[in-house]
Structures are given as C-alpha cells and as structure tokens.
Amino acid sequence: KTEHDSALRQYEQALKQWQNQELATTNSHSQILTNQIDFIQRNKVIEHYKHRFNQLEVLSPTPGSSAPKGRTEFSFYDKLNRYFPGQILIDYKMVKYVEYPYTPDFILHLPAWNLYVDIEIDEPYDAKKKKPTHCIDIPKDKDRDDFFLEKNWIVIRFAEEQIIVSPKSCCKFIASVINALTGQLIPEELQNTPRLRDVPRWNTKKAKRMARKKYRNYY
C-alpha cells in the first residue's frame, strides 16, 4: 500500500506539472494570438490615418532661405540627424509674403505621410540688443503658428534652455509626437531618456528681467 500511495502521489504530481505546462503553453499561444490581432488592428488604424494625411492639402517649403541661425541650432541639428536620419531639412522657407517668408529652424519631413513638422527654438531675448522675443503677450508667434497650422503642418516649440540642458529629451519629445501620429517607433536610444522638463513661457516683462540678469549665460 505504501508503494502504491507513493506511486500515486508521484503520478498526481507529474500530472499536475504537465497540466501547468499545457496551461502556460495555451496562455502563451493565446497572448501571441492577441498580440497579432492587436498588431493587425493597429496597422489598419495607422494605414487609415496615413491615407487621411495624404489627402490633406499641405504647403511645401521652398529651399533657399538665408535666415541667420541661433547659437544652439548647429549642435541640435546634429542631434536631430542622429535620431531622425534623412528626415531633417534646414534653410527652407515658407512664402507668406514675398518680402518676408517664414523660415522654420528645422523641418522634420515624412514624405510617406505627407507630414511636415516645424521645430522651433525660442530664446527669451536676442543676444545683441537684449530685446524680448517669443513672448506670450506679443501675437507675432501665434500668428506665425496659425499660418503653419492652417497649412496642415505641426508646430513644436522648445525653449532654448530645454535644447541646451536636455537635447536628448527634446528629441524624445519629437519622437513621441511622431509615434502618436504615425506609429513610427521611438528610437531605441531614446526610449529610456528622461521626460523633458517643462519651461514656462515668458511675457515681455519677464523677458526684460531675464535679459538684465543675463539669464541665457547660465544654462
């Protein structure tokens, strides 16, 4: 009887182990199937919006801008090319008025999506005359942004401080926007990059105070 009981217990343990393995395999196959269905549905949604984007009438930029560049643009251009190779355009202009065309600091272009992103770097004051710039109480930037939005562009504005202190986080922010719109994966190098720290926008009064304190010299 003892040998019989021992053999029975061993059999029951072996049966339970086999059942657990089968359950794990079934769950694994079920999860794989669920993932495949999710992937197919996600791709259908992406293709739907890709088609919608391509139906939009988008104003294309024109090469040949000679607008001066800020001190941070050259270094950030290298970062953008690293994480978005072949997708970054510079020295292009948007003809609103023949005399005064808008010139994006950078353009991220996804031809397959008919998608243009205007990427701007905003300084609180200019380096030479210390004149306030990009202030929320001056409508110039809003008018400019409205122009791009009306032409079915996307506009992303960074504070110069963000670009200097956290250029990689800025790139991740851009990649996150593109991912949300198109499903394009965030580059692996950026996936563990910290979230971009917010920098409050400034008004004219604050920009003048920043200029007096030479704020741009300390970030």
Give the C-alpha separation, 199 to 25, whole Å. 49
Q: What is the pLDDT along the chain (219 residues), one digit of tens a residue?
A: 555 566 656 656 665 665 566 555 555 555 554 555 565 676 777 788 788 889 888 989 999 888 888 779 999 999 999 999 999 999 999 876 556 789 999 999 999 999 999 999 999 999 999 999 999 999 999 999 999 999 999 999 999 999 999 999 999 999 999 999 998 899 999 999 999 999 999 999 999 999 999 999 999
- Residue 30 CB coordination number (10 Å): 10
What's the CA gap between 47 and 41, in Å, rounded? Answer: 10
pLDDT at 152: 93
d(CA 105, CA 190): 22
Residue with tokens 């004219």: 204
Alpha-carbon distances of 204 from 48, 130, 138, 191, 213, rounded to whole Å: 44, 12, 8, 36, 14
Contact 103, 94 (CB under 8 A): yes
Select from 141, 130, 121, 131 the least CA-distant residue to 71.
121
pLDDT of residue 48: 81
- Residue 84 in 3-state DSSP? coil
Q: How far apart are CA 154 and CA 145, in angstroms?
A: 9
